[in-house]
């Protein structure tokens, strides 16, 4: 029987990048793109959080979008949530504090990505609470490359 620590190191699911968005500057609308250059230890080219330590990339789970919308009572789109990547097919929380790959890019999950107070203004009242526990994760880029829509997201064993 496996210990909890051993079980945490097994992530059999493989996800898919469904959407990519960049935030060019503070308060600017998110721009959807089909691919983006991920620069090691810096961030995504064209994103305002580039070189921001542990929050170089933000990811949210596609399966959580309808949950957030239902709990908030508002329409939710990836751009409104202001995350960089929408990923389906893998539990992103299982990648927190772990190494994972998106295509050729290697990332390290650094923390949960908590909602901010901007959610209420951009989407509507109740969105902040609806996103709690569903905000995704933040990650740091360990090895750069290009991330494309349709790329596979997979756990990397140590």
pLDDT digits (tens, 9 = 90+) for 14-27: 999 999 999 888 87
> Regarding predicted confidence, which is higher, 116 or 141?
141
pLDDT digits (tens, 9 = 90+) for 53-95: 778 999 999 999 999 999 999 999 999 998 999 999 999 999 9
* SS3 (DSSP) at 56: coil
Residue among 33, 54, 53 nearest 45 (CA): 33
Q: Which residue carries 């504090």 as its tokens? A: 97
How big is the chain, counted in residues?
Answer: 158
pLDDT at 142 over 90: yes
Predicted local confidence at residue 128, as pLDDT: 85
Answer yes or no: is pLDDT of 104 > 90.
Answer: yes
Per-residue pLDDT tens over the stretch 6-59: 887 888 899 999 999 998 888 788 999 999 999 999 999 999 766 567 789 999
pLDDT at residue 138 in the model: 95
Residues forming a β-bridge with 44: 38
* Maximal C-alpha separation, the chain: 51
3 state SS of 5: helix
At residue 19, the pLDDT reads 98
Q: Which domains does the chain have, with CATH numbers?
A: 20-155 (2.40.33.20)
pLDDT given for residue 103 in this prediction: 95
């Amino acid at each position: 029987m496996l210990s909890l620590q051993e079980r945490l190191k097994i992530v059999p699911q493989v996800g898919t990048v469904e959407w990519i968005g960049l935030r060019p500057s503070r308060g600017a609308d998110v721009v959807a793109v089909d691919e983006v250059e991920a620069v090691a230890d810096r961030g995504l080219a064209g994103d305002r959080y580039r070189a921001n330590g542990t929050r170089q990339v933000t990811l949210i789970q596609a399966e959580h979008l309808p949950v957030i919308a239902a709990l908030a009572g508002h329409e939710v789109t990836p751009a409104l949530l202001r995350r960089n990547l929408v990923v389906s097919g893998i539990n992103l929380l299982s990648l927190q504090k772990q190494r994972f790959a998106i295509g050729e890019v290697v990332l390290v999950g650094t923390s949960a990505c908590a909602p901010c107070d901007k959610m209420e203004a951009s989407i509507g009242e109740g969105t902040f609470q609806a996103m709690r526990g569903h905000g995704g994760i933040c990650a740091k880029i360990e090895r750069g490359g290009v991330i494309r829509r349709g790329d596979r997201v997979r756990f990397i064993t140590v």
